[in-house]
Chain A
Amino acid sequence: NAGVTQTPKFRVLKTGQSMTLLCAQDMNHEYMYWYRQDPGMGLRLIHYSVGEGTTAKGEVPDGYNVSRLKKQNFLLGLESAAPSQTSVYFCASSPKGDRPLGFGQGTRLTVV
């Protein structure tokens, strides 16, 4: 039982490049979330999903897209990376909306 696994752990992108961050959970959780963490700002919600095939926007969705084709995976895409997207990205999951979140270890993304 690995919990929540994020791939990759580190990445450097050039402005305008695209990439996909993968989040996988093996706990059969319905809810999955993508957050970004910037210095001094805590975590901000990008997108979330309440079940397979569903996605919804969070607080800071612009510049990102997500997909939840399989229950265990939640993908975060950057179509055209910008320096403002330099951040640490965390994926989280929970069995229900009012339960504690289990977090992945994070992906540190730098856009130059």
Chain B
Amino acid sequence: SQQGEEDPQALSIQEGENATMNCSYKTSINNLQWYRQNSGRGLVHLILIRSNEREKHSGRLRVTLDTSKKSSSLLITASRAADTASYFCATDGSGSARQLTFGSGTQLTVLP
């Protein structure tokens, strides 16, 4: 079963616009992470937000976390064609290995 579910499944925007992706999850978490995957490549970690944090920034990325609504959002500002990729949220489990559970992803296309 998948803990995180991203919305929308696909998003197409023009270069320079902002892109917002949402993630909802079902059970309590310790942290939530966002990853990016370029076509045919492995996943790359973008940002981690802990359950006691509400907002975090990294460059053009802004992540928010609302634990009361069990949801998170990833905002990419001033998007570029190179931001075209799939974006996944991942939530940690309660086991000792804190294994991550991934959502099905949002496919972002940034048109030049």
Contact = CB atoms under 8 A, between A and B. Distances in A.
Contact of B88 (A43, A59, A98, A100): A43
What is the interface residue range for chain A against chain B?
20 to 34
Interface of B: 1-2, 30-31, 33, 35, 40-45, 48, 88, 92, 96-105
A45 B97 CA distance: 12
A101 interface: yes
B23 to A, nearest CB: 11
B24 to A, nearest CB: 14
A90 B43 contact: yes
Given A41-B104, A42-B102, A98-B31, A103 B97 contact: no
A59 B43 contact: no
Given A90-B42, A100-B33, A106-B41, A59 B102 contact: no
